[in-house]
């Protein structure tokens, strides 16, 4: 119980870019700036999936990522949450066409707890999604073993 309480106040984020245009990623990087200041909410952003609590997935899942994303998800320590960000991660966006090489949406590949629509979403929207949905998702996470 204490662990859950503390985990709610210290979320480590890992970013996975699986295609798309980088637009969502620079909006996540913009969250580090003083205007949004992600760390004041106890959220620490780095890029290491083995140490993170919540995985931010952006981009159309390119065909090469389809299996790797599942592997990566399994490597994140439990309990874990996933936030899918941007139109590409939600539906494939503009790349979801007959000739596209895309396996989106993300929710069909790994379980997703929150989705942020937009092309790209504003930084504040991403911060709100993480703050609102990641702590309950971590608290109600059911361990596999």
Partner 1 sequence: MSYLPFGPIHPALKEPLRIKLKTEGERVVDAEVDLGFIYRGAEQIARGKPWQKVAYLTERICGICSDAHPHTFIEGLEAISDCVPPVRAQYSRVIMGELNRIHSHLIANAIWFLAVEHETLGIYNLNIREKVMDLLEMISGNRVLYSWNLVGGVRMDFKESHLKKILENLKEVESEVYRYRKMFKSDALLGLRSHDVGKMSKEDAIDVRAVGPVARGSGVKFDWRTKHPTYVDYFDFQPVWRDECDNYARVMMRFDEVLDSIKIIRRAVEELPDGPIRKECEIPRGSIDYRYEAPRGELAYIFETAQHGIINDITIRTPTIPNLEACVKHMFRDSPTIADAVAIYQTIDPCIACTERVVIVDEKGNENDFRGMQNVLKELKALKNKKK
CA distance linking residue 85 with residue 56, whole number of Å: 7
What does the per-residue mask of binding to partner 1 show for 56-85, with x meaning CB under 8 A?
Answer: ---xx-xxxx--x---x-------------
At residue 46, the 3 state secondary structure works out as: strand
Task: Tell me: does residue 95 bind partner 1 (CB under 8 A).
Answer: yes
For 1-145, list the strands marked E by DSSP: 11-17, 43-46, 54-58, 81-85, 114-116
Q: Which of 11, 13, 24, 106 binds partner 1 (CB under 8 A)?
A: 24
CA distance linking residue 113 with residue 142, whole number of Å: 13
Q: Which of 67, 78, 122, 132 binds partner 1 (CB under 8 A)?
A: 122
Residue 102 carries which DSSP code? B
Task: Tell me: does residue 34 bind partner 1 (CB under 8 A).
Answer: yes
Task: Tell me: does residue 10 bind partner 1 (CB under 8 A).
Answer: no
95 and 58 Cβ atoms separated by less than 8 Å: no
Q: Least separation, in Å, of the C-beta of 97 and partner 1?
A: 5
CA distance linking residue 110 with residue 89, whole number of Å: 12
Q: Least separation, in Å, of the C-beta of 71 and partner 1?
A: 10
Binding site for partner 1 (CB under 8 A): 15-27, 29-30, 32-35, 46-49, 59-60, 62-65, 68, 72, 93-95, 97, 99-102, 119-120, 122
């Amino acid at each position: 119980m204490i662990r859950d309480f503390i985990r709610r106040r210290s979320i480590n984020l890992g970013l996975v870019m699986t295609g798309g245009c980088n637009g969502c990623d620079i909006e996540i990087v913009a969250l580090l700036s003083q205007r949004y200041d992600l760390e004041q909410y106890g959220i620490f952003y780095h890029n290491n999936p083995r140490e993170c609590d919540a995985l931010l997935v952006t981009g159309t899942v390119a065909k090469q990522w389809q299996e790797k994303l599942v592997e990566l998800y399994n490597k994140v320590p439990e309990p874990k949450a996933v936030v899918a960000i941007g139109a590409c991660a939600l539906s494939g966006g503009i790349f979801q066409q007959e000739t596209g090489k895309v396996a989106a949406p993300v929710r069909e590949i790994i379980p997703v707890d929150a989705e942020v629509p937009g092309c790209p979403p504003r930084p504040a929207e991403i911060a709100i999604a993480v703050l609102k949905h990641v702590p309950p998702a971590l608290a109600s996470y059911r361990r596999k073993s």
